[in-house]
Amino acid sequence: MEALEYFYNQTGNRISYEYIAFQNFNDNIEDAKNLLKLCKRFPVRVNIIEYNPIDGAPFLKATEHKIDAFAQYLRDHNVMVTVRRSRGKDIDAACGQLANKE
């Protein structure tokens, strides 16, 4: 956080956080509250990214409802948020999936 704060103070550039939402791991309002604490130190943008399940990985995609509630909580506290909806899931071409194919 100190490095990010230093970067912001030197450049004035908004910091972007890339946040991958995993089901029942980091997708609830308590997690959003914890992230909000990090968002208050300097101007940030949060990109919430839908996880794309891959074979052999234990994680699952958070539900749209939970992602939307998470994003809205941050927006309600004046954080700039974008939800990155996954594309290409139907052909296993979403981000990270092709790299896992042999």
Q: pLDDT digit string (tens) for 6-52?
A: 999 999 999 999 999 999 999 999 999 999 999 999 999 999 999 98
Quick check: is 81 in a domain? Answer: yes
Quick check: is 61 in a domain? Answer: yes
Quick check: is 54 in a domain? Answer: yes
Number of domains in the chain: 1
**Whole-angstrom Cα distance, residue 64 to residue 72?**
12
Domain of residue 38: give its range: 15-85
Quick check: is 44 in a domain? Answer: yes
**Whole-angstrom Cα distance, residue 94 to residue 102?**
15
**Whole-angstrom Cα distance, residue 4 to residue 78?**
19
Count the Cβ atoms, other than its own, within 10 Å of residue 95.
16
**pTM value?**
0.82
Quick check: is 27 in a domain? Answer: yes
Containing 15, the helix (H) or strand (E) segment is: strand 15-21
Quick check: is 72 in a domain? Answer: yes
Q: pLDDT digit string (tens) for 52-76?
A: 888 889 999 999 999 999 999 999 9
